[in-house]
Structure 1
Amino acid sequence: MNTNKTILITGARAPAALHLCRLFHSTGHTVIIADSTPYPLSKASTSTDYFYEIPSPKWNTKESIDALLSIIQRHHVDVLIPTCEEIFYIARYKEIFSPFCHVFVDDFHKLSLLHNKWGFIQLTANLGWRVPATYKINNEHAIKTMIHEAPATTPFVLKPIFSRFSDKVEFITKEAAIKENIVDKSNYIIQEFIPGTQHCSYSIAQSGNVLAHSTYKTEFTAGLGATIAFKPIDHAKIEQFVEHMVKELDFSGQIAFDFIVTENGDAIPIECNPRATSGLHLFDEEIVSAFLNAKIDQPLTPKVNAECAIRLAMLVYGLPYVKSKQKRKRWLQVLRSYPDIMYSRTDRKPYFYQFFSMYKLWRESVKHKRTMLEQTTHDIAWDGEPL
């Protein structure tokens, strides 16, 4: 009996998608990739059998969905796996794809609730977990009360309800919060700032059960939010939270959370990304079984030495760490010793192609006057618009 599958992976621009392509290819499956950018990383990989450039899910939603359906029917795709924010568009029109293949996403209403930073905080608090004091910007009275009751040295966090990579997140002092007319920032929330270190989790779940899980500490980032170096750690409270949330939602698919871990070890959830994140890089071929609905008795976890980094990003965003006496030594250590996510002895082209891909990304960002991080998701981001 032939157990090999045909896998369609969207969001081929993401390093996580490249990693998935390599894992599925190495385990004998046919790999098809699709993206609305013409220069995604995985395009250069020998682990992919076909690449399709599709219309933008954000700006040409119907055409994008139609293109994916055509690919699925043409190649008799068995599993569709989104990796980036195109997941929201695919989830919204999941019923179109489901008769032809397994769509590795949960229902749209669950994903939209988790993606909404205000909705996620409310859900988490209702489940009994500690969260930062959080208010919508339109709740002016509650915000003023929170600010005035806080100590003078307490900072606050302003963030859009829909965002990614900590894009447009602002840390403001109490004095600035009092003076600034933050009510004008529509679709924002304001949170109390909780001192601690950021940790992230990535998990795969099926019908409320965690099939695979990784936790890692954020040391180095692209901008404020996107982690670019990874080393697995154990954190019981984070694992407990993930299991609880997945069970309560009866969740299926990929799901990731951000936490602030305080000095006493308490893990406070602050955001959710209901999609693939770089925590996927910490797994090897065994995680393929979690995507194929295989029987898994105990959640899969990364090997102890499964550390890795995106070295180009470490260099591009390395200046603040080089300038810091406290962080320079650690930055150099990670840069030298962590294996590069892009490089593979059996699949070398993406390592070189990434420079071209980043150059094209930079050109587009300059042309449209966006940051490079904004440009990476401009055509696939979903910010709560009706679908």
Structure 2
Amino acid sequence: MRVLVTSSRNTFALDLIRKLGSVGHTVFAADTYEGAVGSHSRFLAGHLTTPSPRFETDAFIATVNAYVEEHDIEVVIPTFEEVFYLAARAADLPEGVRLYAGSFGDLARLHDKASFQRLAQDAGVPIPETVVVTSPDELRAAIESFPRYFARAAFSRGGVGLLTNTGPLAGKVPVEDCVPTVDQPWLVQPFVDGPMVCTYSVVVDGKVQAHTTYKAAEQWAHSTAIAFVAVDSTDTLRYTQQLVDALDPGFTGQISFDFVDHGSDAAPDYKIIECNPRPTNGVILLEADVVVKAIQGELAEPVVAVPGTERQITLAVIADAFTEPLSHLPRTLHDLLHVRDVGAGWWDGAAMLWSPATIAHGAKISHGDRKEVLAALGDDIVWNGEPIDGMSETDAAALEAVHAGRV
């Protein structure tokens, strides 16, 4: 295959590039800035810098199209929320190129946290008690109804912007900064003790091909995972297939879910929180041949990551250590000494040397606009539920249906 991987700034995009390239596929990368880590992998045949899909949609599509035609790209694999812009403009892509993602309507239904809760109910997957609010007054009333709560926007990501009165993020986001609206609602749920459990899956023609279930052994700023350990996939694999069946029996693409485990290691009791209709770092825990065969639909039965498999983003673990109390140091030292880095064995270290450029990109976007760098890192490639320039009437109607289908 001749493959273009977009949003190459992400560690999991770099991992996909390495895995596809290592087994003989010709891989290209794209992002909105030159310093994206994945754009400097030795496994690439080339890379390009594009306009922002969010702020310059027409120019983004035109740039991607020109590159696809110039390099005879067969498959475009999105790795972040540029997937929505590509899916909404799929009819404008060059003839013969395949977008490795679901339809815009399916992706929007998964991404809108409120409509996703309805989908989970329909699929028979357990969800926590949920209140959808569309005004600041409704938000205040909802959080007052729960002794312990957490709330976030229907369109949010990466554990950033959580409103809660419990745990390490308690009080970090003032309620005054949270302004739900009819177009941008928030979800309020009871805070329940228990670890977050995440999944990553490759799905082809409605069937899960490869699947990972993992916990975050370390988190950057108590939100985004930077160290990962695979756990048993029995329950989450079943739930993933149920969700795909309820969504679209013909769905093809990468899909990721977040659960909270209300039970124990011996007897997990999962409740689903949200979906990321794209890859996440769970792909790192799968072997290259499994991921590539899964993407091509070549696996007769789902392959899951082996429980106990561990990986970490070493540079992020080191950086995070400087923000944690001294009592956290033994855990950091243990991970640095014993947990395999995501880049181990690839002999591709030059790519990760561009990591400071990614942080600088986030800092540049966040400058003068009260955003954390972590939130700003993806600000030029996110989608928050608004109509997309050039989308079809069918997709516009699908978006309206998603809004109408919220819990």
Normalized against structure 2, the TM-score is what? 0.84
Q: Contact between 1:137 and 1:183, CA under 8 Å: does it hold in 2?
A: no
Q: Contact between 2:365 and 2:377, CA under 8 Å: does it hold in 1?
A: no
- 1:3-23 CA distance string (max 9 Å, x none): xx2111101111111111111
- 1:78-104 CA distance string (max 9 Å, x none): 111000110111111122227321210
- What amino acid sits opposite 2:374 in the alignment? L
Matches within 5 A, 1:142-181: 144=141, 147-148=144-145, 150=146, 154-172=147-165
Inter-CA distance 70–259: structure 2 relative to 1 (3 Å threshold): same
- Residue number in structure 2 paired with 1:372: 373
Q: 1:288 aligns with which of 292, 296, 304?
A: 292
State how far apart, in whole Å, the 1-side matches of 2:350 and 2:189 are: 43
Q: Contact between 1:72 and 1:100, CA under 8 Å: does it hold in 2?
A: no
Inter-CA distance 126–147: structure 2 relative to 1 (3 Å threshold): farther
Inter-CA distance 330–105: structure 2 relative to 1 (3 Å threshold): same
Identify which range, 23-32 or 91-100, moves more after superposition.
Answer: 91-100
- 1:187-226 CA distance string (max 9 Å, x none): 2221121221100000000121000000001231123431
- Residue number in structure 1 paired with 2:82: 86
- Residue number in structure 2 paired with 1:191: 189
Please state how far the C-alpha of 1:303 moved relative to its aligned partner.
4.1
State how far apart, in whole Å, the 1-side matches of 2:2 and 2:206 are: 26
Please state how far the C-alpha of 1:351 moved relative to its aligned partner.
2.8
Please state how far the C-alpha of 1:63 moved relative to its aligned partner.
0.9
**3-state secondary structure, aligned to 1:231:** strand
Q: Contact between 1:211 and 1:299, CA under 8 Å: does it hold in 2?
A: yes
- What amino acid sits opposite 1:61 in the alignment? T
- 1:284-315 CA distance string (max 9 Å, x none): 2211112223x211112224564211111112
- Residue number in structure 2 paired with 1:340: 341
- Residue number in structure 2 paired with 1:350: 351
State how far apart, in whole Å, the 1-side matches of 2:132 and 2:346 are: 49
- What amino acid sits opposite 1:226 in the alignment? T
**3-state secondary structure, aligned to 1:49:** strand
- What amino acid sits opposite 2:240 in the alignment? V
Q: Contact between 1:158 and 1:172, CA under 8 Å: does it hold in 2?
A: no
Please state how far the C-alpha of 1:60 moved relative to its aligned partner.
0.4
Identify which range, 359-368 or 63-72, moves more after superposition.
Answer: 359-368
Instruction: State the identity as a percent.
Output: 27
Q: Contact between 2:231 and 2:306, CA under 8 Å: does it hold in 1?
A: no
- 1:319-346 CA distance string (max 9 Å, x none): 45443x4x54333211222222245552
Q: Contact between 2:213 and 2:233, CA under 8 Å: does it hold in 1?
A: yes
- Residue number in structure 1 paired with 2:226: 228
Q: Contact between 1:231 and 1:308, CA under 8 Å: does it hold in 2?
A: yes
Inter-CA distance 328–32: structure 2 relative to 1 (3 Å threshold): same
Q: Which runs of 5+ in 1 are unaligned?
A: none
- Residue number in structure 1 paired with 2:111: 115
- What amino acid sits opposite 1:190 in the alignment? V
- 1:155-202 CA distance string (max 9 Å, x none): 1112011011111111137xx9xx967994332221121221100000
Q: Contact between 2:259 and 2:271, CA under 8 Å: does it hold in 1?
A: yes
**3-state secondary structure, aligned to 1:317:** helix
- What amino acid sits opposite 1:266 in the alignment? D
**3-state secondary structure, aligned to 1:228:** strand
Inter-CA distance 318–228: structure 2 relative to 1 (3 Å threshold): same
Q: Contact between 1:135 and 1:143, CA under 8 Å: does it hold in 2?
A: no
1:213 aligns with 2:211: yes
1:13 aligns with 2:16: no
State how far apart, in whole Å, the 1-side matches of 2:208 and 2:105 are: 20
State how far apart, in whole Å, the 2-side matches of 1:378 and 1:142 are: 25
**3-state secondary structure, aligned to 2:48:** strand
- Choose between structure 1 and 2 for higher RCO, CA contacts under 8 A separated by at least 6 residues: 2
State how far apart, in whole Å, the 1-side matches of 2:352 and 2:373 are: 19
Please state how far the C-alpha of 1:241 moved relative to its aligned partner.
0.8
Q: Contact between 2:65 and 2:94, CA under 8 Å: does it hold in 1?
A: no
Q: Which runs of 5+ in 2 are unaligned?
A: 389-407
Q: Contact between 1:253 and 1:275, CA under 8 Å: does it hold in 2?
A: yes
Please state how far the C-alpha of 1:359 moved relative to its aligned partner.
3.8
State how far apart, in whole Å, the 2-side matches of 1:271 and 1:145 are: 19
State how far apart, in whole Å, the 1-side matches of 2:142 and 2:23 are: 57
Inter-CA distance 191–18: structure 2 relative to 1 (3 Å threshold): same
Normalized against structure 1, the TM-score is what? 0.89
- 1:342-365 CA distance string (max 9 Å, x none): 455522211322234434443543
1:318 aligns with 2:314: no
- Residue number in structure 2 paired with 1:253: 253
State how far apart, in whole Å, the 2-side matches of 1:182 and 1:48 are: 42
RMSD: 2.5
State how far apart, in whole Å, the 1-side matches of 2:373 and 2:175 are: 28
Inter-CA distance 182–223: structure 2 relative to 1 (3 Å threshold): closer
- Residue number in structure 2 paired with 1:262: 262
Identify which range, 65-74 or 136-145, moves more after superposition.
Answer: 136-145
State how far apart, in whole Å, the 2-side matches of 1:181 and 1:347 are: 45
Q: Contact between 2:32 and 2:50, CA under 8 Å: does it hold in 1?
A: yes
State how far apart, in whole Å, the 2-side matches of 1:236 and 1:320 are: 36
